[in-house]
Structures are given as structure tokens and as C-alpha cells.
Amino acid sequence: MSTPCQISGCKNDAPAAISEHRLCLLHFTLSLEASCAAMRRETALGNAPHERQREIMAFITANGESLARVATSGLVLTDDLKARILSTFLTLMNLRENLDRANMRSSFGRVSHPR
Ligand SMILES: [Zn+2]
């Protein structure tokens, strides 16, 4: 009935709310952090195609929802894991913000913005 975490050597089960990822909560947050870091590099210059940017935004929304669902599903979580969940939310939000900012830079080109 339970889904084991797919990371080799990990003995935890994947929580029901994210069972489709086949990752325990710790490894789910780690994999999100890694994906976000890669997407951040990919989009930092603001020249990722629009199609790809939409994919990344969809990724952020879908995974943010999964994370919120599992975090509020009544699992018993250690304080460490709670802190990790919050920092992963922050990573998702920052990625979204960076994406918007990079987008803005690329669409306005070199026009200067008075402050
Ligand atoms: Zn695991």
C-alpha cells in the first residue's frame, strides 16, 4: 500500500499526497531545490524561450501545491523537516520572482528605469 522512496538507501516511504513522485518528504524537498537551482541558472539571463518559461511557472505552481498539500496533511514532521519545507517554499517563490525579473529585463532591453 505504501510507496517506498526511490532514492537508493532511503528507507522512508513517500507520503500519500506526493506518492506520484515516489519520494519521501525529505527527498522531495531536495529534488525540488535541485530542480529550482537548475531552472534558475537556465533562466538567469532572461533568454529562455517563452514556452520553457511557461513550463517552469507550471512546475513552480504544481510543486508548490504538492508541497503545501503534504505539509498540511497531518503527517508528523520534525522541526528540521518543517524548516526545510519552508525554505523550499522560499526557493520556489524566489525562482518565480527571478523569472519575472529576468523577463522584465529582456523585454525592456536597455531602457533605463529611473528610480
Ligand atoms: Zn527518501
Centre of ligand 1 from the C-alpha of residue 64, in Å: 19
Q: What pLDDT sits at residue 104?
A: 77
Centre of ligand 1 from the C-alpha of residue 14, in Å: 7
Per-residue tens of pLDDT for the chain, all 115 residues: 689 999 999 999 999 999 999 999 999 999 999 999 999 999 887 788 989 999 999 999 999 999 999 999 999 999 999 999 999 999 999 999 998 888 777 666 544 555 6
DSSP state of 47: -
DSSP state of 27: H
Centre of ligand 1 from the C-alpha of residue 100, in Å: 32
Centre of ligand 1 from the C-alpha of residue 36, in Å: 18
| Domain ranges across the chain | 3-32+46-105
Centre of ligand 1 from the C-alpha of residue 93, in Å: 24
Centre of ligand 1 from the C-alpha of residue 107, in Å: 41
Distance, in Å, from the CA atom of 23 to the CA atom of 66, rounded to the nearest integer, reads: 12
Centre of ligand 1 from the C-alpha of residue 97, in Å: 29
Instruction: Supply the pTM of this predicted model.
Output: 0.86
Centre of ligand 1 from the C-alpha of residue 29, in Å: 10
Closest-CA residue to 16 (of 28, 31, 7): 28
